[in-house]
Structures are given as structure tokens and as C-alpha cells.
Chain A
Amino acid sequence: MGNVIGIGASPKRKEDQRFLTGRGNYVSDIKRPGMTAGVFVRSPHGHAVLRGIDKSAALASPGVIAVLTGEDVAADKLGSLPCGWGISDAKGVPMKEPPFPMLAQGKVRFVGDMVAFVIAETPGQANAAAELLTVDYEVLPSVVGVLEAVRPGAPQLFDDVPNNICCDWELGDKAAVETAFRKAAHVAKLSLVNNRLIGNPIEPRAAIAEYEPGTDRFTLWTTSQFPHVVRFLMGALVLNIPQHKLRVVAPDVGGGFGVKQFHYGEEAVITWAAKRVMRPIKWVASRSEGYVSDRHGRDHVTEAELALDEHGKFLAFRVNTLANMGGYLSTFGPNIPTNLYGPLLGGVYTTPAIYCNVKVVFTNTVPVDAYRGAGRPEATFVLERIVDVAASEMGIDRVEIRRRNMIPKEAYPYQTPVLVQYDSGDPMGCLDGALVAADVKNFGVRKAASASKGKFRGLGYSTYVEACGLAPSRFAGRLGARGGLYESATVRVHPTGQVTVMIGTHNHGQGHETTFAQIVSEKLGVSFENVDIVFGDTDRVQFGMGTYGSRSLVVGGAALSKATDKVIAKGKKIAAHLLEAAEVDIQFEAGNFSVAGTDRIKSFEEIAGAAYVPHNYPLEVLEPGLEEQAYYDPVNFTYPGGCHIAEVEVDPETGTVTLVNYTAVDDVGTVINPMIVEGQLHGGIVQGVGQALFENAVYDEGSGQLLSGSLMDYCMPRADHMPMMKVATHSTLCTHTPMGVKGCGEVGTIGSPAAVINAVVDALAHLGVTHVDMPATPNRIWRLLQNASLPVAAE
């Protein structure tokens, strides 16, 4: 037994050495012999008929190898980009699902829609040729907002999608909700916008494709969170390439946040083109190109009503949302504002009746899909905002109203009225912990100190619960998933006892190489240094659904745990033979197999050696080798939850909101590596703070131009926007995952927007402000202050 580093320890990360020394291997770092450069020509119009493309000047340009358009795609009879979810309306009518060609055909539907792919010897030559492509557009009016898109007379994106409505989805008992509203002592109402976001992983998307005629095999290197899913969707449904002839590699990937968990048209075009030109092709997006092609997130307009009795007890919750899908359905698009939104509207409360209607709407904007949190931040924002509105209107303290409605710890497992059943949780414990950690009792002192400087100080609370660990396939299938959502892991024990794990999740910052090695080290008793984790290559890893929805540890870690159990089980059989004992008498502990009650013992290394050098080995009952594989499909989602408390200071002179304190107490179940979990919480929180205070993707109605089209126009959180955050965990164990884990990747982003906005509203409440839409920019706050009924000076 060597240096076991197990569950609960915080070893330094295995992956750091290469990143710290500039030796990461990102797609844009890769060069292939004979490599050419590809550039996409994108629509400058939000909505237009594509009347024709004249390639001649581009083809004659120096170094140009090929120019491909939608006509070439159609001539090769290639498939449409598939949507992985098929939702239906209340009557069971399936969503409208217009084709999403990888290069536009007939029409373009958003600024950035791809119309051609130019391949040349160098990027400079490809760019120069792209400028020479003549595209004849008949420009049509664009519609970019959901309210505008469903109005009569609005521009129609598709002939067969009336009013641009993809699906009129609903969830919950509408009649029960109406009955409860009739009995209510008070009804709180709130209209809000959940602002559109751009994910902005710092590594822009990129791809390299290569075709080997000798073996008839394709290889695609791509910045993806789920290479096996890309292989399946692209190979089987778009390009008709047999799975065994297609290798997809996602090497080091510089952040994902959802943006890289879709099958993009660029991947299909470049792979198809690589065979046509018989040369490897590389495409690397610029940041500006990413803004008009990376899938966006959020973008809801919502009307919500909460019915309460005279004591502030929630009776019913009704939510009507218009959700923007953009110009086409992306891989998970319609699932996000429906299945990952409606079922979370119960939050941590005992609200007995909930009804949610979501109209999923096409507009002339980049397709909208999952972005960190995906549906759950939107649900949390609606609920936690309206709870504050109700508390204020009824004159009940904001913490008190939450306590009165919280699901008590003893009531778990708790069946909500909106499908999901929470297995475990302790919202009150998280709230109590956060109140102490945030030093709420001295808030008044701090508020007075701010006032003495002419600043308004506010405190905001948000509790939340989310569903993650995506996902139980059976449950997801009922909701419209067209694939499974299990995960797989192979544990390969080498003859000398070291271990290589092949796992279907993808590490792009989450520290899997460390966390998963800790699990193996603990379970098998092998040295942490002697475990390597392999991911991101369909030729090396058996299969997998990738990384998103806080699923890697929950689902992938469970598969890994199962596979190590199988290794131990086989090891016991080998040990029983070698130690001449019955298998039932073999115990495995701390890296040793022994006969119970005796000193007869074999180390893990000895068993591994025997498995591969089977001179004295039970060949008649056991195969040589020590390698086991497991697939794991969860029985339920996991339900992390928690309480976040934000404290802000507003400068009435400028409208600037400064986040001065931030406290989070999260229940993420078992924590494998506390250092990594804290890092995930920090990053998640700041993304939510970004939504609340800075980030906004803005389109121009009519032209469909993206006004926030670069890092100059889209405000990202920076180091000096943040105070030191206090994060802590208050864990209850998940009852159905093997290690009790719940997942932690998205919780920060889910809890934080409501906490921050509730704090901003609290700071301005004395001026009669009851709601502030995100982002709470200085401009927006300053205008609110100018319109406020009371004098601005904070005397």
C-alpha cells in the first residue's frame, strides 16, 4: 500500500503541471501534416432569403482549395443537425422541429448562420477568399424578442411554424392552482426578464478534421464536452459515417459551461470537407465569431404569481414564460426552458400546487441552449424574487417567510407537485449556516456605515434546489430525451498494479483527473500517483455521454465506483485461489486481500501480477487479466441545494452596484475533494454574479444585429468586481448514488443571481423600488433612482 489519497482529501491537481507550464494540448495547439485552413462565411443579416452564392472570385483567389455551400450539402444528401430532445404540448402534440442544415439552405435565420466554408492553404488566404464570396441576400425583417415574435404579424422564421411557437408546453395541475388562488389571502405578482447570456469559455471553439483514405477513417479533434455524443450524432445522423470509421477527440478543452456540449454544424462541415479535399483542415473561431455562433443561454420573459394564506404560507405558484430558442433547435434546446425549469419551481418550499406554461419561441438570434445551470437558475430567480416581493407586500421578514415554507429535513424524501422527488436535503440547516457565516445580525451596523458615506446597502437571500446528475434515462425518456444519459468507466489494472481509468465524462477544468484518481486510490488502496484518468477520445474510451448538468462525479463517478467494485470482486476470486481459501472468506481492505481471521495475505499488486502472469491461476474458472467496465444509470436526479446571501452597496451618484460580501452554504452531498469543490463554487457564483450585474446579450429588433458582439460590449466579471467570497458546505448525503454525492458544478450559478438582485432591491427598497431586471448595470440603476419618488441622497 502506497500513498493512498482518498475521499475528503485535497491533493494538488494532477492536471496542473501541464497547464502551468504551457504544455496543455488544446485543439488550436494541434498541427497535422499537410494541414489546410478553413473559414466559415456567416450571414451578416438576421433574416434573409438566400438567393444565390457566386463562388467564382473566391475560388480564383490565391491558395484556395475549395468553397462549399448549402447546395453542396444538399447534393451530398447530408442530414440536418439533430435535436436530442422532443418535447410535446399538453395534448401530446410534438414540438415543431424544422430542419437545421449545417450550411444554410434557402434562408438564413440569424446573424452568424453559416452560408459557406472556404478552405485554403493558410488562414490568411482563406479569410481573403471569404471576403470575395458573393452572397445574394434578400433581406427580411428580423424578430429577436420573444414578446415580439409571438405577436400577430411578426416576421415568420418558418412557413410551418405559426406565430414562431415551437411548443406550447405545460406542467402541473392548472385547476388545483386556480382553486388555490381563489382562496388566497394575498397574491404576489411579478413580471421579469431573465437576461440572455453568452457563455464565453476563454478558449474559443475550434476543430481539426482529417480523413485517412488508407483506412477509410475520419478523425475530428473538437472543443467538445462530449466527444462520443458528437460521434454518434454526427456520424449516425448527419454525415452517415459508420461509428467504427469515425474517431472524435476532445483533448484539453479550455472551459465549457455548456457552450461546448452541443453538436455544432462546424464539426459536421469540417469533417465532411476533409474527405472532399483529402487534406486535414483546421478551423479556429475568433472570439467575435464565437459571439454569433456559440449557443447562447437563458432569455426568458416571465409573468409569475404566488398565492399565499394570511400567514404567508405558499398555497400555489403560477408561472407563464416565453423562452427564446433562437433560429433553430440546438442539441438540448427545447429541454432547457421546460424540463429543467418547470420541475424546479417548487424550490425548497412546500408549495402544494404549481402550474407552469412555457411557450418555446423561435427568433432571429443564435440558437439558445444550456448554459451553466440551464433552466434551474431561471426557475430559482423567478421563485426567489417573488418570495421577496410577497414578503415585502405582506410585511413579513424575508427569512421568516422562507422558514415558514421550507421543507423540513425530516420530510425527505419529498414529492413535489411538479414531477420530481427530492431524496435528501436540509434547507433550514443551509439557511442557518449562511445567516451566521454572513454575519447577518450585524448587517444594520454595516448599513449605517454605508449610509454615512452616502451609499445604500442591501442584503439579499436566495435559497435553491436543483436537479442534477443528468440523468435517469427512464425518467428523461418520458420527458422527451432521445438518448440515454448513463455513464461508463473502465478500470484497467496493469500487471504491476498501476491503474488506468477510461471514463466517458470530459474534464475541461473540473479536476476529474484528480477527483476520480482519489476514488480509485481510496477504493483499491493504490497510490494516488499510480492512477491515471483517460477521457476525451472515442478510440481510447469505450463510450460516454460527456460532461454537463453536474453529472460527471454523480453519474461517471458512480460508474467508476461500480467498476472498481468489479475489480475487487475479481481480485477476491484470484486471491481465494492463491491463498487456498473459499472466496467468501476473502476480505479486501487497505489494498490487501486476506483470508479472514488469518495472516494469509496477498497485496493488490500481487493479485494484479497473478492476473497477467497466470502460471498458478484458476484458468478453469477465471479469465486472466484485471480490467473491468461498468455502466451506471441513475435512478433519480440528485438535488443539491443551499442558501446564498449577497450584500451590495449602491452608489446613488453613479448607480454603480458593488458586491461587498458574498456567502454561500451549499449541500452538495459527499465532498470528494474540498479544494476542487470550493473552486467550482467560486467560479459558479461569479458566473451568476455576472448575470446579475454585468452580462447581457443584446440584439437589435428589426435588423437582428448582435449589439453586444465582443468582449468590449459584453461585460464579463473581472477580478476587481468581486470581494472574497465565503463558501461552505452543509451536506446531506444523496440516498441513491454510491458515494452520496450530489454534484457541485452548477450550484453557484443557480443560487447567486437571485441573491444579488434581492440585495439590490433591498438597498433601494426605501425608494419604492420593488424589482430590478438583470443585469443591474449603473445605467439601469441610475435611471431607476432618477424616477424614484424619494430624494436620492442617503442621509
Chain B
Amino acid sequence: MQISFTLNGRPTTVDVEPATLVAELLREQLNLTGTHIGCDTSQCGACVVHLDGLPVKSCTLLAPALDGATLLTIEGLQGAPGSNQMHPMQEAFREHHGLQCGFCTPGMLMTAIALATGKPDLTEADVRHGLEGNICRCTGYQNIVVSVLAGAAAMNAAKGE
């Protein structure tokens, strides 16, 4: 079947098998391999993308659900429009060593951005709770939590200007 949606700001139309998962569509058909698949039980969160602004696990969503929707993946993140800058959350992860092997990172970033959007008063407890659906085996989460708090502050400061 044919579906049309907005992918990282661009109108996109693709033919998909109805049983295709969004994560598979992105990785196999659209060559957007930044969205990762780390499990088969919707536990790890490596595949998180934003569907109409909300974080979802793309391994648990069928492609037809995208029809008419807006999808944002790790490849669509950016800083100031038209610049080469990274998103403030990406910058925060680099600054605070919030990643090691990098495999959980795209999902962590997408979850973190959703968590921080419009939340200037995010606390450590909020972040730890909010990352419950994302597993990282490398970092012990400490620097991820530090990164998300810093990224959230940067995002909300930028908004406030």
C-alpha cells in the first residue's frame, strides 16, 4: 500500500507492505539507519522516534500508521535551521560524555528531547523516570542524566530568548 507522511520536514510517499514496522521501513527502505533495533519486546528504546511530536518506539508501530503523520528521526535533528549545528541535546550529550558505544544514543536523544520540551524545571528524578523505557548498557546512566538536564536547560533557554 502507498502511504504519505512528513519525514524530517519533507513530504514522503512510499509503497510498503502493510505488516512493515516503522523501524524496518526507516532502516531498510529509506536507508535511515540511525534508528536502531535493540530488542524484540519494545523494552530497549533504541528505536524511539517522534510521531506527531510524541516519542514512540518505532519497532512497535506499523508503517500504515504513518499515513498523514509527521515523523522525526535522529537524522532530522538539527540546531538553528539552516546551520550545521547539532541540536542542543546532541551537544549536551557530547559535552557530558552521555554516550559510549552509541547504539542506544539515537533513541536516548529522541526520548530526552521529548522529555525536555517545554519543561524548564526538569529534575534529576524526572529524567531518571523519563528514561525508564530506554536501556543503556555502557554509561551507567549517570552522564546521560547529566546530559539530559544540561540539554533541557539549553533547549528551554533557547526557547526563552
B137 at the interface (CB under 8 A from A): yes
Chain B 10-27 near chain A by CB (<8 Å), digits 1 or 0:
000000000000000001
Q: A419 → chain B, closest Cβ, in Å?
A: 32
Contact yes or no, B101 A287, CB < 8 A: no
B144 at the interface (CB under 8 A from A): yes
- Chain B hits for A678, CB < 8 A: 97, 143
Distance in angstroms between the alpha carbons of A252 and B102 in the assembled complex? 9
- Chain A hits for B152, CB < 8 A: none
- Chain B hits for A23, CB < 8 A: 34
Contact yes or no, A21 B34, CB < 8 A: yes
Contact yes or no, B137 A21, CB < 8 A: no
Interface set, chain B 68-122, CB cutoff 8 A to A:
73-75, 77, 86, 90, 93-95, 97, 99-106, 109
Contact yes or no, B100 A510, CB < 8 A: yes
The answer to whether residues A22 and B40 also contact, given A719-B128, A719-B144 and a CB cut-off of 8 A, is no
Contact yes or no, A287 B44, CB < 8 A: yes
Contact yes or no, B41 A287, CB < 8 A: yes
Contact yes or no, A720 B129, CB < 8 A: yes
Distance in angstroms between the alpha carbons of A288 and B143 in the assembled complex? 28
Contact yes or no, A682 B139, CB < 8 A: yes
The answer to whether residues A204 and B38 also contact, given A12-B95, A682-B139, A720-B128 and a CB cut-off of 8 A, is yes
Contact yes or no, B93 A683, CB < 8 A: no
Contact yes or no, B140 A202, CB < 8 A: no
Distance in angstroms between the alpha carbons of A675 and B94 in the assembled complex? 11
Q: B28 → chain A, closest Cβ, in Å?
A: 8
Contact yes or no, A24 B102, CB < 8 A: yes
Contact yes or no, B33 A20, CB < 8 A: no
Chain A 1-40 near chain B by CB (<8 Å), digits 1 or 0:
0000000000011011111111110101101000000000
Contact yes or no, B142 A682, CB < 8 A: yes
A118 at the interface (CB under 8 A from B): no
A777 at the interface (CB under 8 A from B): no
Please report whether the interface of chain A is mostly helix, strand, loop or mixed according to DSSP. loop
- Chain B hits for A12, CB < 8 A: 94-95, 97
Contact yes or no, A20 B99, CB < 8 A: yes
Interface window among A50-58, A235-243, A710-718: A710-718
A685 at the interface (CB under 8 A from B): yes
B52 at the interface (CB under 8 A from A): no
B138 at the interface (CB under 8 A from A): yes
Contact yes or no, B103 A26, CB < 8 A: yes
The answer to whether residues A722 and B86 also contact, given A19-B99, A203-B36 and a CB cut-off of 8 A, is no
Q: B89 → chain A, closest Cβ, in Å?
A: 9
B132 at the interface (CB under 8 A from A): yes
Contact yes or no, A20 B105, CB < 8 A: yes
- Chain B hits for A682, CB < 8 A: 139-143
Distance in angstroms between the alpha carbons of A724 and B100 in the assembled complex? 18
Cβ-defined partner of B97 (8 Å) among A679, A687, A712, A718? A679
Chain B interface residue count, CB cutoff 8 Å, equals 53
- Chain A hits for B34, CB < 8 A: 21-24
Contact yes or no, B142 A722, CB < 8 A: yes
Contact yes or no, A722 B141, CB < 8 A: yes
Q: A613 → chain B, closest Cβ, in Å?
A: 35
Contact yes or no, A287 B38, CB < 8 A: yes
Contact yes or no, B132 A720, CB < 8 A: yes
Contact yes or no, B75 A21, CB < 8 A: yes
Cβ-defined partner of B44 (8 Å) among A20, A202, A288? A202
Q: A714 → chain B, closest Cβ, in Å?
A: 10
Interface set, chain A 683-717, CB cutoff 8 A to B:
683-687, 710-712, 716-717
Residue of A nearest to B92 (CB): A20
The answer to whether residues A719 and B105 also contact, given A16-B99, A682-B139 and a CB cut-off of 8 A, is no
Residue of B nearest to A680 (CB): B100
- Chain A hits for B141, CB < 8 A: 682, 686, 717-719, 722
Distance in angstroms between the alpha carbons of A291 and B127 in the assembled complex? 29
Distance in angstroms between the alpha carbons of A679 and B146 in the assembled complex? 12
Could you say which interface size class chain A belongs to?
35 or more
Q: B69 → chain A, closest Cβ, in Å?
A: 20
- Chain B hits for A26, CB < 8 A: 33, 36, 103
- Chain A hits for B44, CB < 8 A: 202, 287, 711
Contact yes or no, A202 B132, CB < 8 A: no
Distance in angstroms between the alpha carbons of A200 and B139 in the assembled complex? 13
- Chain A hits for B58, CB < 8 A: none
Interface set, chain A 144-180, CB cutoff 8 A to B:
none
Contact yes or no, A255 B135, CB < 8 A: no
How many Cβ-Cβ contacts under 8 Å join chain A to chain B?
A: 179
Cβ-defined partner of B101 (8 Å) among A17, A203, A286? A203
Distance in angstroms between the alpha carbons of A510 and B110 in the assembled complex? 23
- Chain A hits for B127, CB < 8 A: 719
Q: B106 → chain A, closest Cβ, in Å?
A: 5
Chain A 718-742 near chain B by CB (<8 Å), digits 1 or 0:
1110101100000000000000000
Cβ-defined partner of A687 (8 Å) among B40, B102, B104, B137? B137
A257 at the interface (CB under 8 A from B): yes
Contact yes or no, A254 B102, CB < 8 A: yes
The answer to whether residues A253 and B137 also contact, given A22-B75, A204-B38, A719-B132 and a CB cut-off of 8 A, is no
- Chain B hits for A609, CB < 8 A: none
- Chain A hits for B41, CB < 8 A: 287-288, 710-712
Contact yes or no, A255 B103, CB < 8 A: yes
Distance in angstroms between the alpha carbons of A335 and B122 in the assembled complex? 48
- Chain B hits for A722, CB < 8 A: 128, 140-142
Distance in angstroms between the alpha carbons of A103 and B44 in the assembled complex? 30
Contact yes or no, A711 B139, CB < 8 A: no
- Chain B hits for A24, CB < 8 A: 34, 102-103
- Chain B hits for A675, CB < 8 A: 97
Contact yes or no, B103 A683, CB < 8 A: no
- Chain B hits for A31, CB < 8 A: 31
- Chain A hits for B144, CB < 8 A: 719
The answer to whether residues A711 and B90 also contact, given A255-B100, A675-B97, A719-B141 and a CB cut-off of 8 A, is no
- Chain A hits for B90, CB < 8 A: 20-21
Q: B13 → chain A, closest Cβ, in Å?
A: 22
A509 at the interface (CB under 8 A from B): yes
Distance in angstroms between the alpha carbons of A711 and B133 in the assembled complex? 11
Distance in angstroms between the alpha carbons of A730 and B100 in the assembled complex? 24
Q: A677 → chain B, closest Cβ, in Å?
A: 10
Cβ-defined partner of A253 (8 Å) among B77, B101, B135? B101
Contact yes or no, A13 B75, CB < 8 A: no
Interface set, chain B 43-76, CB cutoff 8 A to A:
43-44, 46, 73-75
B153 at the interface (CB under 8 A from A): no
B37 at the interface (CB under 8 A from A): yes
The answer to whether residues A718 and B101 also contact, given A22-B73, A29-B33, A200-B137 and a CB cut-off of 8 A, is no
Contact yes or no, B106 A202, CB < 8 A: no
- Chain A hits for B136, CB < 8 A: 202, 719
Q: B82 → chain A, closest Cβ, in Å?
A: 16
Distance in angstroms between the alpha carbons of A712 and B125 in the assembled complex? 23
The answer to whether residues A20 and B43 also contact, given A202-B104, A679-B139, A719-B127 and a CB cut-off of 8 A, is no
- Chain B hits for A17, CB < 8 A: 94
Contact yes or no, A28 B86, CB < 8 A: no
Distance in angstroms between the alpha carbons of A255 and B137 in the assembled complex? 8
Distance in angstroms between the alpha carbons of A286 and B99 in the assembled complex? 23
B7 at the interface (CB under 8 A from A): no
Q: Which 5 residue pairs are nearest across A and B when measured between Cβ atoms?
A: A22-B34, A19-B102, A254-B103, A509-B101, A686-B140
- Please name 16 pairs of A and B residues whose Cβ atoms are closer than 8 Å in the assembled complex, sorted by A: A12-B97, A16-B93, A17-B94, A201-B101, A202-B38, A253-B101, A257-B137, A286-B39, A287-B39, A287-B40, A287-B43, A288-B40, A675-B97, A717-B140, A719-B127, A725-B142
Known: A204-B39, A682-B139. 19 other contacts (CB 8 A): A16-B93, A19-B105, A20-B86, A22-B33, A22-B35, A203-B36, A204-B38, A252-B102, A288-B41, A509-B138, A679-B139, A686-B140, A686-B141, A710-B40, A710-B43, A711-B135, A717-B141, A719-B141, A720-B132
